[in-house]
Amino acid sequence: NETLADIEMTDKLIEEIEPDIVGFTILAPFPGTRAYDEKLHQDIDWSKVDEYHNKFTRTKSLTNEDLHQLQKNFVKKYHDKIAFHHKLYD
């Protein structure tokens, strides 16, 4: 049920606390999790899904495209703090 206002609050929190490492994912409701809905997700090839690239997760107010654009904006804004960059260079 995340909204754009929730995401904006997350951005403000990141700016306020200035963490060393961040990551931005999109919910991937794998079978066996509380977010999994058998009717909605039964035909998904889970071997091709992860929390960065799924094409079906959406919220009541944000489309999947919205979520991916917001994720892209965060990655661009916080590029030097993204978790996978630290793993590559540590």
Q: What is the pLDDT of residues 18-28, one digit of tens each?
A: 999 999 999 99
At 82, phi and psi to the nearest 5? -65, 135
Instruction: For residues 67 and 4, give the distance between their C-alpha atoms in angstroms, rounded to a whole number.
Output: 9
User: Is the predicted pLDDT of residue 85 greater than 60, yes or no?
Assistant: no
In eight-state DSSP terms, residue 55 is: S
| pLDDT > 90: percent of the chain | 69
CA 23 – CA 36 distance, rounded (Å): 22
Whether the Cβ atoms of residue 56 and residue 64 lie closer than 8 Å to each other: yes
Per-residue pLDDT at 60 exceeds 90: yes
